[in-house]
A and B are shown apart, each in its own frame.
Chain A
Amino acid sequence: MKRTFAIVLLVLLTLAAAMAALNFRDEESIDASLAPSPTTPEQIARGAYLAKAGNCMGCHTTRGGVPYAGGRGIETPFGTVYTSNLTPEPVTGIGRWAPAHFWRALHNGRSRDGHLLYPAFPYTNYTLLKREDSDAIYAYLRSLPPVVQANRAHGLRFPFNTQPALAVWRALYFTPGTSVNDAKQSPEWNRGAYLVQGLGHCNACHGSRNALGATSGALDLGGGLIPMQNWYAPSLSDPHEAGVAGWETQQIVDLLKNGVTRGASVLGPMAEVVSGSTQHLSDTDLRAMATYLKAVAPTQGERAQPALPPSETASSRGAKLYELHCVSCHGDKGEGVPGAYPALAGNRAVTMKSPANLVRIVLEGGFAPSTAGNPRPYGMPPFAMVLNNDDTTALLSFVRAAWGNQGSPVSVLEVDKYRGTAK
């Protein structure tokens, strides 16, 4: 009996030690001095630029709130995580943080007081940053006006609201990293990899997540349904979704810079990304990202089943609805109007396997973002008040199979699922 107890205790202690070791590995001792080296205006400007590349403000600002003062709720399947105040206010912000604390948050996912941070803050990506870039972002944040705004406690369910649960998660799914430097690839590719895998945290949406919310790694861009938002971030490796291996580099640059390019435009969460982040990046960096994305090894995702010819009634109902609501802009051959109304014939956003985005765009409408290259975007009207689930199903099934499109029919269940998620 005593022996069993001793063995169990030993196993538990070993596990705890392993957990601690896994959680604190690759941590440097903290130099808590506030300003180890003088900051320069160039460093602050560089930090401002890098903060755009990471779209830090997008999450660390509430609707209508002071930039970087935090408080936005990020909904996750485990509850709501509230972002923190990044302004240099001493009590509620990061005024007492040293550059080393900031680096540890980005690189190791631990806060100034040592508590473990939730990976809704994508330190699983930011761990790839270089120290000098972390210091530049820190210098920029320190240059902002301090704002008194207390951080809000997370609204997570048990056990996800406990530090031990987070420690287990980190032991399983988080390894501190170092920035990529692949000697076999061009400097441009390496720069692109740094931005896409690190600051850009593209896989946070464009990759898949397991039941515990862990991504499959910064290299996986195979597409995924964004948790809680129910927009599908299409695969960047699948040529039938949003893979860009076959695109010209300039086309990719244009999409990230302007929000529109020949044959594609961004809506929904990606409009937010272009708006808050990529439109502000230099052409050199956008070309680097394009170079990296073009070189992503193509995968053949699960193809939508080639459409069985839809039943005569369904397709005529869909065709009639198309004539009534869509044809005046998208044309009777689904050809659209270049620069204004997207073509639907041969459009991957229309035919890809997940109909989530198609349902949402038709029901909710939306605008591409205003950018320097497209300051006055055209908008798609919402049809949620006009089309019921059966109409939407017939219409989308028609569009996915018309004019040579090879998409599978949409089911009423799918339409109903995505109709309910408009926020």
Chain B
Amino acid sequence: MNRLSLLRWCTLASALWCAAPALAFEDSIAQRVQACTGCHGKQGRAASDGYYPRIAGKPAGYLYNQLINFRDGRRQYPLMTQFVDPLSDAYLQEIAGYFAGLDVPYPAPQPATVMPAVLARGEALVSHGDSARRIPACVQCHGQALTGVAPAIPGLLGLPRDYLVAQLGAWKTGNRRATSPDCMAEIARALSPDDVSAVSQWLGAQAIPAQTKAVAQLPAPLPKPCGGVAMEARR
């Protein structure tokens, strides 16, 4: 082997090494759930420019409720359903706990693509709701900083806009449901399509606060009873 071919060989070898960094095998929950990170991003940190939501750092009870909702037909996404179908409650709980415990950097927010008046409408709904139409403010349940409330209410920041629109739309049509009483379904049904767009645009464009963890409790009781929260409290 002359020096040139050795050089070529090394270049090729390093290129391959870069293409597929061979992970040393370890028996860890991270390796067991690579099926999840395939779509939800490295360590569940999904970028904001796609569709799949970030799951890292979301409250464990919320994540577990969603896994059960997919299994029991209250949420519809065939890939997710077939993943959770054969898994035990205990393992789903462990998976939810694992992603909830991850504290990884958030993606950059998505610049809004609508007129300032629309954004203002979105902000107003998020911060104050619309009492005339009996729509509570997002912050009343999801926390003043919108980072969620442990253990069952998710944060709303750092999520792709398309994902937010799709979820609110699915709640309106009944395609996404939660355990009864389904508070989000009632709220989403009160929102017009323009409201959905305005809220999603504003949420998707927000900078991520320094403190991203779900808060321990809300200053006031929930404005509506929520089945998912009650279910988690019973666990």
A368 to B82, CA, bound (A): 11
A367 to B37, CA, bound (A): 14
Contact A375 B88 (CB under 8 A): yes
Chain A residues lying within 8 Å of B90, measured Cβ to Cβ, are: 370, 375
* A379: Cβ under 8 A from any B Cβ: yes
Contact A367 B87 (CB under 8 A): yes
Contact A376 B25 (CB under 8 A): no
* B210: Cβ under 8 A from any A Cβ: no
Contact A376 B32 (CB under 8 A): yes
A364 to B78, CA, bound (A): 9
A382 to B20, CA, bound (A): 17
* A324: Cβ under 8 A from any B Cβ: yes
Interface segment among B67-75, B108-116, B146-154: the answer is B67-75
Q: Name which of A64, A271, A272, A329 has the most chain B CB atoms within 10 A of its CB.
A: A64
8 pairs of A and B residues whose beta carbons are closest in the complex:
A381-B38, A379-B35, A64-B72, A370-B88, A369-B86, A63-B73, A64-B73, A271-B86
* A422: Cβ under 8 A from any B Cβ: yes
A329 to B36, CA, bound (A): 15
Neighbour of B38 across the interface among A62, A332, A382, A423, CB < 8 A: A382
Chain B residues lying within 8 Å of A383, measured Cβ to Cβ, are: 38
**Which B33-92 residues have a C-beta within 8 angstroms of A?**
33-39, 71-74, 78-79, 81-83, 85-88, 90-91
Neighbour of A379 across the interface among B16, B22, B25, B83, CB < 8 A: B83
* B23: Cβ under 8 A from any A Cβ: yes
Contact B35 A63 (CB under 8 A): no
Contact B86 A275 (CB under 8 A): yes
Q: Name which of B34, B71, B74, B81 has the most chain A CB atoms within 10 A of its CB.
A: B34
Contact A369 B87 (CB under 8 A): yes
Contact A365 B22 (CB under 8 A): no
Could you list 21 examples of A-B contacts with CB < 8 Å? A271-B85, A272-B85, A324-B19, A324-B20, A328-B20, A328-B22, A366-B82, A367-B35, A368-B86, A369-B86, A369-B87, A370-B87, A370-B91, A377-B87, A378-B34, A379-B83, A381-B36, A381-B38, A382-B39, A422-B79, A423-B82
Q: Name which of A323, A325, A381, A423 has the most chain B CB atoms within 10 A of its CB.
A: A381
Contact B38 A327 (CB under 8 A): no
Residues of chain A touching chain B, judged by Cβ–Cβ distance below 8 Å, are 62-64, 259, 271-272, 274-275, 323-325, 327-329, 332, 337, 340-341, 364-370, 375-385, 422-423
Contact B86 A328 (CB under 8 A): no
With both chains docked as a complex, state the minimum distance between the C-beta of A182 and any C-beta of chain B, in angstroms. Answer: 35
With both chains docked as a complex, state the minimum distance between the C-beta of B78 and any C-beta of chain A, in angstroms. Answer: 5
Contact A272 B19 (CB under 8 A): no
Contact B78 A423 (CB under 8 A): yes
A364 to B22, CA, bound (A): 23
Contact A367 B86 (CB under 8 A): yes
* B186: Cβ under 8 A from any A Cβ: no
* B175: Cβ under 8 A from any A Cβ: no
A41 to B83, CA, bound (A): 37
With both chains docked as a complex, state the minimum distance between the C-beta of B97 and any C-beta of chain A, in angstroms. Answer: 12
Contact B38 A365 (CB under 8 A): yes
Contact A323 B20 (CB under 8 A): yes
With both chains docked as a complex, state the minimum distance between the C-beta of B232 and any C-beta of chain A, in angstroms. Answer: 18
Chain A residues lying within 8 Å of B35, measured Cβ to Cβ, are: 365-367, 379-382
A98 to B21, CA, bound (A): 65
Quick one: closest B residue to A270, CB to CB?
B86
With A367-B35, A367-B83, A379-B83 known as contacts, the answer to whether A340 contacts B27 (CB < 8 A) is yes
Quick one: closest A residue to B15, CB to CB?
A323
* B94: Cβ under 8 A from any A Cβ: yes
* B192: Cβ under 8 A from any A Cβ: no
Quick one: closest B residue to A329, CB to CB?
B34
With both chains docked as a complex, state the minimum distance between the C-beta of A257 and any C-beta of chain B, in angstroms. Answer: 14
Neighbour of B21 across the interface among A328, A332, A368, CB < 8 A: A328
Contact B31 A340 (CB under 8 A): yes
Quick one: closest A residue to B69, CB to CB?
A64
A353 to B208, CA, bound (A): 52
Chain A residues lying within 8 Å of B86, measured Cβ to Cβ, are: 259, 271-272, 274-275, 366-370, 377
